[in-house]
Each structure stands twice: as structure tokens, then as C-alpha cells.
Amino acid sequence: MPTLVLIRHGQSSWNLENRFTGWWDVDLTEQGVREAWAAGELMRDKGLDFDMTYTSFQSRAIKTLNLALEAMGRLWLPTEKSWKLNERHYGGLTGLDKAETAALHGDDQVKIWRRSFDIPPPLPEEGSPWDLAKDLRYKGIPIPQTESLKDT
């Protein structure tokens, strides 16, 4: 029977800073690198092997995959990258501190934005420093301004 293994990226710098990340491309921390390597060792030790791998366009996910595959001795496996595997787009919440956002808007509102199936976070402000329009990896892709879980 085929096996599907899903791995979330290791700790990123914005995870450590408790910031909303979404589509913004942030790097792994040293701990995130260790977590990715440990995931690969665990999969190797459990005897898992793969024919194909998939990842998002986000560097933290690509690095996590590559580190895990290297730990497994499977860095040569084919990988398909798709923007459709990116984390959800947090829109106007991108880059904001989660605790400060909850203090400003209330825990209930932030929970609605984060966990509701069909209610997206607010749109980003015009001129946002987190605008991805000029990011070459998304050339020709309809970049969302924000996404609910339903949209992803």
C-alpha cells in the first residue's frame, strides 16, 4: 500500500519571533535545521523510502525537504515544487506579531481570521512591505492578497 508522509517545515525565524508568516519567505533557524535533519533520520530509521517528493515555493519548506532527504541518503529523489503547496496567505496580518495583533483586535477576532474555514484575514494595506508582486518565483501566478482556509 502506498504511504504518504507529510512534514511541516522546521522552525523559521518568524516562528521564533511569533509573527504571521504565510507566503512571506523566511529562513529556517538553527533549530529548524536540526528539526529537519532529525525528521530525515527518523524516516530513515523507520525504513521509509519515496519515489517522489513535493514541496512549496517557500525556502523554509525546500530547505526542510532537502535536509531531511540528505539525512536519509535520498537527496537525489525527484522533487516537484508548486506554489499551491505554500502556506495560506495571511494578507494584512503578514509580518505582525501574533500577541500584539490579539491585543489590538482581540483574541476572538484573531481566532476567526486564523481558524475560520471561509473568513480570510484582512487585506494588506497598499504599499505593504510584504507585497509579493515583484517576487520572481510567482511570475505569471495569480497571487492572492489573502486566503481563508477554504481558499487554500
User: Over its length of 152 residues, how does the chain's per-residue pLDDT go in tens digits?
Assistant: 888 999 999 999 999 999 999 999 999 999 999 999 999 999 999 999 999 999 999 999 999 999 999 999 999 999 999 999 999 999 999 999 999 999 999 999 999 999 999 999 999 999 999 999 999 999 999 999 999 999 98
Domain map (residue ranges) of the chain: 13-85, 89-127+145-152
Give the C-alpha separation, 110 to 93, whole Å: 9
- What does the pLDDT read at residue 108? 97
- What does the pLDDT read at residue 96? 97
The gap between the terminal CA atoms of the chain, to the nearest Å, is: 28
- Whose cell is 511569533? That residue is 18
- What does the pLDDT read at residue 92? 97
Which is the catalytic residue, given 9, 35, 89, 147? 9
Residue 63 CB contacts under 8 Å (≥ 6 apart), including other chains:
9, 10, 27, 28, 33, 36
Which is the catalytic residue, given 35, 87, 89, 147? 87
Homologous superfamily (CATH) for 13-85:
Phosphoglycerate mutase-like (3.40.50.1240)
pTM for this prediction: 0.94
Give the C-alpha separation, 91 to 24, whole Å: 10
Rounded to 5 degrees, what are φ and ψ at 25?
-90, 105
Residue 80: strand pairing partners: 54
- To the query of whether residue 87 is one of the catalytic residues in this protein, the response is yes
- What does the pLDDT read at residue 2? 87
Closest-CA residue to 114 (of 100, 127, 126, 98): 98
